[in-house]
Each structure stands twice: as structure tokens, then as C-alpha cells.
Structure 1
Amino acid sequence: MSIGLWVRGARPKTLATSIASVMVGATMAYAHIEQSGTCIAIYPEPASCATAREQQTLLMDRFWPVTILCLLVALFLQIAVNYANDYSDGIRGTDAGRDTDESKSGKTQRLTASGLVPAKHVLFAAMICAAIACICGIAAIVISQAWWLFAVGVASLLAGWFYTGGKHPYGYVGLGEVGVFLFFGLAAVLGTEYALCGTVDVGGLLGAVAAGLFSCLIMMVNNIRDIDEDREHGKCTLAVRLGESGARTLLIVCCVAAWAIALLMCATLWWPWGAVLLISGVGIPVRMVSSVNKRQFRPALPAASFQTLLFAVVLAVSVTL
């Protein structure tokens, strides 16, 4: 059981989505904090301006510690979900017979189904990663005093387990994309923004929707790739329900919607260069869609994952500049 085996089992090509979602939330929080200390230059200075600047200083002082903790929460939570998914699909037999050679198919290592790692060890690894995410989450909540985020954290843990775990996993009835949109989009972005600045705004909501759609693209590519095996093993993902043609169409629709929102945000924040920077990466979704249509999933998955990170980086640059 080498380190490399565990790294492949953690599905590193999918981890950019958790990092990017927190980046989007942190970026929108930073923009809100910067604006919160702005006051009209009049004399004598209103007491509200001094209060606003004090609050701004407080939020800026804890900005990076809370941001790093939110990044660790999202990263370890997704790794925990990936290991839990590996465990649950492995013991159900859903992963039985699937190709585990990444060089041929672009698939990640199936730890449980391959027999290379005992199932209980995979489950234990998922529990350890979930515990690390909980510790970092509690620290972020204590620092930010955003106590209601405890409920979001508990819901995220339950959603991660019941995606493929339990007697009635929602990932087996075509609701996997809904879970990804809610927790790796809305919860991750808006939760990060609230933890950092104590509020959410329209910009954060738009960023959450875009990040959620970008995150769904990764799962859609995975499910289109695995559509035949999933159908054979009774795993009724959204791709299985829609059929391969319908799933490809939905992939394109979600991709266009995500890019439209991302373009609107970046162009509004830094006209016109934010739009120019984002459009410079338009070849990435084209490559993803083209690769999926050709059933060449090895390049499609990294392309789907990189889009989320590209959006987050361009958004951060647009806010900063």
C-alpha cells in the first residue's frame, strides 16, 4: 500500500473543484470587506465610518487564517468523500471489473474493488480525512463566530457519506449532480464568504452558482465515462437516466451557463480585461466537450476540473486589479 496508491485513490484530478470553490468565496468576501470601510470624506467624520473601519480591520486580520482553514476543510472533505465513495462502490460490487489503468482510460485507482487495499482501511482513511476536515471547520467557525455553519458542516458530512453509502444512496438515483451543486457550489462558496465577512451578497450567489455548475461538469464527465458499467450494476446516475446523448447535451448546457455567469462576473469586476483573461481559456471547455464526444475521457476530466480553477483565478485577479 504505497503512498502513490493512496494518492491515486484520492482522485487528485477532481480536487481542484474544492479549492476553487473556496477561492471564489474568499474573493467575493475580500471584495465586500474592501468596500465596507469606504466612507464619504466629510468633517467631522461620522461615528459609523470609524466603526466600519474597525470592523474592516478585524475582518482583514483574520482573513488569511480563516481562508486557509476553509481550504483545508473543503480539500479533506472531498478526499473523504472520494474514499467513502471508493469503499461503498467497492463493497456493493459497482466497481467490479472496471479498468484501473489510468494510462489507458484516464480512470482513477479503485482501492477497494481492486483488492489492493482492505475495505476497512479505505473506510478508516475516509474517517481520518473527515475528522481533519471537522477540526479545521470547528477552528474556522470559532475564529469567525459563524456558529450556524456547524449545521452546514454536518449536512456536508452526511451528504458525502450518503452519496454512495447507506441503504438508499442518492448517487444511485441520479441526484449526484444536485448534491455536488449544493455542497461544492452553494455551501462551499457562500459558507466561505460568510465565515470571512459575516454576510453573503449577490456576487457571492452568482459565484456559487457558477462554481456549482463547473463542479457538476466533473461528475458529468465521470458518469458519461462510466455509463455502461453503471447501467450494468444498477447505478442509475443522471447519465444513465438521460442516456449518453442526453447526458452530453446537459453537459454542454451546464458548461455554457457556467461560462456565461463567469464571464459576466469577471467583465463586471474588471472591464474589459477580466473578460479577456477568461475568454483566453475558452479552448478548455471546447476540448472537454470534444473529448467526451469522442469518448476520450483521459483529457476530458482534467479539462473539466481545470475550468473551475481558471474561473477562480481570473475572478481573484479581476477583484484585485
Structure 2
Amino acid sequence: MVQDSQHQSLHTSARLSVAPMMDWTDRHCRYLHRLMSRETLLYTEMVTSPALVRGGALHLLDYNTEEHPVALQLGGSDPAELATAAKMGEDAGYDEINLNCGCPSDRVQSGTFGAVLMRTPDLVAECCAAMQDAVDVEVTVKCRIGVDDQDAHQVLPDFIKRVSDAGVKRFIIHARKAWLQGLSPKENREIPPLDYDLVHQIKADNPNLHISINGGITTLDQAEQHLDQGLDGVMVGRAAYHSPSDILSAADARIYGGDWARDPHEVVLQMLPYIDRHIAQGGRLHQVTRHMLGLFMGRPGARGWRRLLSEEAHLGDPSVVKRALERVS
């Protein structure tokens, strides 16, 4: 019963989530995003199960307790190894374990991770079952609608059925195919056409499953439309990173019905003690400030803010943040 309650609470948070993005959604980025929204579900960058289990890269599990609710995304295809990695994630305190079945990069494919797994739904089901046996937190799947020349309208329903039969109840579906050859990861986010209707049909055909949509969603208006049309959640990617004030600052009020909003000026001031702690622990200023460049996107002084941080953060003097803030009205 406690487990079901925890999963339900996470489902509420998952009405809006920030996508796992390699090289972007590290712990500094997530801390910043959490200051802007108390409710939005956050995801780590993908961490491969071999790196955790065989490489002993425990630092990859580092996070700030303020980030909750936060999910660990794993990449892998070995059920036993994924089960071990999932348990490591649960022991570290993550609220959810997510399996990446959507990343199309060559590097990920070579390790049999990501979108290539959509060709082997039974293996995905086996991996998820093994992880679920190992942990009490929820195991979820992020996938595409298909890969290459697959008929998405046949492949995706079959994939969802086989994996949900293994016990997975929450799916985040990027509403594009992934082309495993010939397109870069960036092109795979832009060139394959979006098929939102298919994702909505998956929800209609599986009312017992929690279905979130991802891909091409850049505003809260768009997110609300998908929620109003019956989907359970919306995952936003680069828009939440490049202009977090437009997405996250208003999310708690608009998506969750709260009355909490955070001005980006306040967020910067709240980041200052975090930056000081990071530097005191041997970290570098730009590791944090690189995620803050888009805070004032579209506002007077935004260009001066970005320029000063970009030009001087590598020097390591945290006073540059206050000086940059003075350029924003």
C-alpha cells in the first residue's frame, strides 16, 4: 500500500517533467530547475548500467536532496546488470528508475542501449521485470513510436503491451520515430515527423496505463492541451533548458494548481550559496553557471547576462553572477 501511494504521488509529479538530456541535466541543472518548480519531475542524464556496475562510477549517482522528486535514467540491455544498477539507484535515494528506449545515437546503439531496444520488446520486458524485482520504486520506460521503417501504428501498441504485461505502468513516449542510421541525434529530434495522435490513441486504448508525451513541446499552452485531451503527463526537453523561466516558473500554478511562482532574479540569488558551496568543494564556477544562461531569455538585458557569464565564468570569480544580474532589468 505504501508503495502504491508513492507511485501515485510520483504520477502526480509526472504531469510535467524535464527530459533527461545528456551533458545538460546534471545535478547543477536539476538544482536550478527545482528552485523554479517545486512539483515538476526531474530526470538525470542517462547513466549506463555497465558504468555503474562494472565501472564503479558511483559519482554518477550524486544528486542534491533538494532535487526530489527526481528519477534516474538507466541505459542498458542486460537484465541482471540493470537490476543491480536499479538497486544502486534506489539505495542512493532516487524516486524512480527509467529505462532509456529512445536515444538514437551511434554511441548508445553500439552498447545496445536506447532506441535500438524497440526492435526487441521481449528483451525490454525482461529487463524491466528484473529491475522491478530488485526495487520498490517505480520502473518506467521512455521510448519512441518506432525505429527506421517500422510501422509505428503496429509496433508501438505491441511494444507497450509486451512491456506493460511485464509490470510497467508508466511510459514516456517521444512522438517521433528514431532513424538509427543516417541521422544525428539532433536531426532525430527534428526531422522524423511528430505523430501526437498515435500517443493519444495509446492512452485511449490503455486507460490503466500512465502515458506521458514528449517531442516538440515548447510551451505550457501546448502541455496543457495534451493534458486536457486526456494524457497523464508531458515531458519537455530543450525548451525547459534554454528558457526555464517560461516553462518552470509558472508550472506549479498552471499544471499543478498551486499558487507558487519564482522570479528568475530570486532564483539567481538563491543559487549564490549553492555556487559558493560548489566552489568550496573544489568545483568550477562554469559547471553551474552554464545552466543559468537562459534564465532571462526574451527579457531586457538577457544578452548582457549571457555574455558576461559566458566570457568570465571560466575565471572562477563568483562575483560575476551578481555583476551579470545587474545587467538585467
The bucket for the TM-score relative to the shorter chain is: under 0.3
- In the superposition, the TM-score normalised over structure 1's length comes to 0.26
Larger Rg: 1
Larger RCO (alpha carbons 8 Å, 6+ apart): 1
- In the superposition, the TM-score normalised over structure 2's length comes to 0.26
| Structure whose residues are more often helix by fraction | 1
| Structure whose residues are more often strand by fraction | 2
